[in-house]
Amino acid sequence: MTIVQDTIRPPAARSREWKVIVILILLVPVLWSPLILLRFALYQPFSIPSNSMVPTLMVGDYVFAAKYAYGYGRYSLPFASSWISRRVFAADPEYGDIVVFRTAKDNSTDYVKRVIGLPGDRIQMLQGQLFLNDKPVTRVALKETPAGSACGVDDDATVKRWRETLPNGASYVTYDCVDNGYLDNTNVFTVPPGHFFVLGDNRDNSTDSRMMSAFGFVPMDNLVGKLTRIFWSLDEDGEPRFERLGRVE
């Protein structure tokens, strides 16, 4: 026979439970505050840690990603991984979008790359030039510029630049550090349904969809958001780079 007093929690335990309840009640207005809603539902800030998207994005840039752009899924909503399996209000990215996402092989790290291929597209690199559906993507050579840390070479080296324009008119600048680099010539990649293909703008220093064993095609459901703006930027000496603030292309 169970004795009632044996089921009553000790006073200390009851006290801890009430403290937890009080804290949760106090947190309700905080969790529903405009700033928290902005962070969780609309825009998320990120910092750029690598040179894979140079010259568009540089180490020291701080950016906003619009989480609503492609709908909401397990990686764009906090604490959602256990109860959401598909995106709601889903929209697919467009050619040239800079997206934040998780890969199928690493769902714990946020990556930033540019969308080059959509479901059904055929992607190939030949001698450093991008081919989309068996046609070369339009590119125009620009004046070479100091490579800096983008190519991992000495300070006096320069880097080739190209302005690339996709079929939908999206246009951006890419870096070409070396001729006939490791990823300058590839097989044809056919993007499967429900996935997209990404490249870094720093073509010779980017781990991206060209590396199938390490990266591969990205599932649409792994989207976090669309990168829209650089809101702050610091150089290697910690000095502000005001000229970098604004929208990104």
**Residues involved in catalysis:** 52, 113
Cis peptide leading into residue 93 (ω within 30°): no
Burial 196-222 (b: 16+ CB within 10 A, else e): bbbbbbbbbbbebbbeeeebbbbbbbb
Residues shown for the chain: 249
Q: Percent helix, strand and coil across the chain, each rounded to 5?
A: 15, 35, 50
Q: How many alpha carbons lie under 13 Å from residue 156 in its C-beta half-sphere?
A: 0
Six-digit token string for 133: 């559906």
Looking at 66-154, list the stretches that DSSP marks H as alpha helix, in order from N- to C-terminal side: none
Looking at the chain, list the stretches that DSSP marks H as alpha helix, in order from N- to C-terminal side: 4-7, 11-31, 34-37
Provide the sign of the torsion angle of the four alpha carbons 53, 214, 104, 191, taken in this order: positive
User: What is the number of other CB atoms lying within 10 angstroms of the CB of residue 13?
Assistant: 10
Q: What's the CA gap between 30 and 25, in Å, rounded?
A: 10
Residues 126 and 203: beta-carbon distance below 8 Å: no
